[in-house]
Structure 1
Amino acid sequence: MGGDRGEVTDLLLELKRGNREAETQLIPLVYSELHRIASIQLRKEVPHHSLQPTALVNEAYIRLTANRQVDWQNRSHFFAVSATIMRRILVDHARNAGAQKRGDRWDAVSLNDAILPAPDRASEILALDEALTRLAKLDQRQSKVVELRFFAGMNDEETANALGVSSRTIKRDWRIARAWLFKELSC
């Protein structure tokens, strides 16, 4: 992930204090990584999805910088929150699309090679979101691991850094969470 960790963190703190100049400086430091995360998300969507990576980044960035309540810890925390916000945007979009396109057939999505077998993409996204909400009640960290790996496209090391645990812990949580989700989503 590009940019100086200290500089991004400092700018996030300045932004929280209301310094609008910090936002101008922050955008070039985080935009390419946000665009990468958005692109990963949209690759999992239906071809010709109505949301484009730039639109998803813009919506997420607006929500990120508008929220003055977030106590930004560091750059990794910013991108972890970004992944959560992008997840919410995609779930909202899926709800709207599902309501408008009942009965349409969509391409199947996979959570690490075919955990989600159903053909209706909007319903899959909603089912995954509901399952992640249930998983969070059982194990918050495992839910965050799935969110960061699947929605943000982070690798083990990046996820470990964002959550402040070892890569080994992330690998174990990822394996357990995928198995749990497979069971939940197969019912």
Structure 2
Amino acid sequence: MDTTLLIAAARSGDKIAEARLFDSVYADLHRMAQHHLLRSGTDIAHAQSLVHEVYLRMARGDDAPNDRRHFFALASRAMRQIVIDHVRKRGAAKRGEGVAPLSLDDVREPALTAVLAGQDDELLSLDAALQRLEHFDESLARLVELHFFGGLGFVEMTTVLDRSERSLKRDWRKAKAFLYRDLAHATAG
């Protein structure tokens, strides 16, 4: 059954649909995490940990998904929050001490991989810049969240966001330009 239909049925109190929805949500999250961790050469065991954390956050969150599109937005947001929370808990060392900068062009490396590689300061800086982008243009921030933290490719995002691949790539360039400029300004200041 379609995720959107399961969500609607679960919201109306159908316990069977609710159970099927949770199974579906878990499977979608696991595939999403597993696919992108495999592409980056990261041990698949990390995908399971990420899925469990995302699932728990989404299950206890007040914001229940309305449809498939909203589900992916919430899942990507949860992945971003988990990664950033993990970085903050590790108490990152002083900014820029011999750590290679995190590139938005290399989105094959999901944010979790960057955390595991010790790029804590770069992820915290990116999160701060992403928050500023959110104030400037929320749709661009969601795109970065889905692509970088959620690991969705442009083809996948066309369905989730109901937009053409061409327009998504154009907005991706805008978002990258904003973030690069913002990060350069933050580093210089």
Q: Hey, what does 1:173 align to over in structure 2?
A: 171
Separation of aligned partners in 1, 2:71 and 2:33: 14
Pair 1:16-2:5 in alignment: no
Q: TM-score, normalised by structure 2?
A: 0.74
Separation of aligned partners in 2, 1:164 and 1:23: 26
Q: TM-score, normalised by structure 1?
A: 0.75
Q: Hey, what does 2:113 align to over in structure 1?
A: none
Q: Specify which of 81, 86, 98 is matched with residue 93 of structure 1.
A: 86
From the superposition, tell whether residues 136 and 90 of structure 1 become closer, same or farther in structure 2 (CA, over 3 Å). Answer: same
Q: Specify which of 32, 57, 62 is matched with residue 56 of structure 2.
A: 62
Separation of aligned partners in 1, 2:161 and 2:21: 22
- State the 1:136 CA deviation: 0.9
Q: Hey, what does 2:112 align to over in structure 1?
A: none
Matches within 5 A, 1:34-49: 34-39=29-34, 40=36
Q: Specify which of 146, 149, 158 is matched with residue 147 of structure 2.
A: 149
Give the counterpart letter for 1:64 in structure 2.
Answer: M
Give the counterpart letter for 1:87 in structure 2.
Answer: R
Q: Is the 8 A contact 1:136 1:142 kept in 2?
A: yes
Separation of aligned partners in 1, 2:88 and 2:155: 32
Q: Specify which of 93, 96, 103 is matched with residue 102 of structure 1.
A: 93
From the superposition, tell whether residues 145 and 127 of structure 1 become closer, same or farther in structure 2 (CA, over 3 Å). Answer: same
Give the counterpart letter for 1:128 in structure 2.
Answer: L
- State the 1:169 CA deviation: 1.7
Gaps of 5+ in 2: 108-116
Give the counterpart letter for 2:21 in structure 1.
Answer: L
- State the 1:107 CA deviation: 6.5
Separation of aligned partners in 1, 2:170 and 2:105: 15
Give the counterpart letter for 2:54 in structure 1.
Answer: A
Q: Hey, what does 2:77 align to over in structure 1?
A: 84
Q: Is the 8 A contact 1:16 1:68 kept in 2?
A: no
- State the 1:27 CA deviation: 3.7
From the superposition, tell whether residues 11 and 185 of structure 1 become closer, same or farther in structure 2 (CA, over 3 Å). Answer: same
Separation of aligned partners in 1, 2:82 and 2:155: 25
Q: Is the 8 A contact 1:42 1:52 kept in 2?
A: no
Q: Percent identity of the aligned residues?
A: 36
Root mean square deviation, CA, Å = 3.2
